[in-house]
Amino acid sequence: MGNDLYGACGQTNFEIPVVSTSTGNTTYRIVSGPADSPLAPFPTAISNPTGILIAYHGYTIISVFLIISLRTRIGKCK
């Protein structure tokens, strides 16, 4: 399980960068979050990030989002 991310007091913009150094495919899904979030309903569809997993701007109340990230390799198993 990854590290929890916490914003500073008053922070309303959050980005989770995605960096990969090998071949493969990264996908993610938001499993849960506030029901009134513009990202709802949860769970979201599986998505492919393009450099940033989540770029969320403007949420002004304390919130918890559960995000899962999956990494699959491309190629044959040996």
Please report, for the chain, the start and end positions of each structural domain, with discontinuous segments joined by +: 28-71
Buried b (16+ CB within 10 A) or exposed e, 12-37: eeeebeeeeeeeeeeebebeebeeeb
∠ CA 57-59-64, nearest 5°, is: 110
pLDDT tens across the length of the chain (78 residues): 567 777 787 777 777 777 777 777 888 888 998 888 878 899 999 888 766 656 565 666 777 888 888 888 776 666
The pLDDT, as a whole number, for residue 43 is: 94
Given a contact cutoff of 8 angstroms between Cβ atoms, the answer to whether 66 and 29 are in contact is no
Assigned token pair, 54: 């989540």
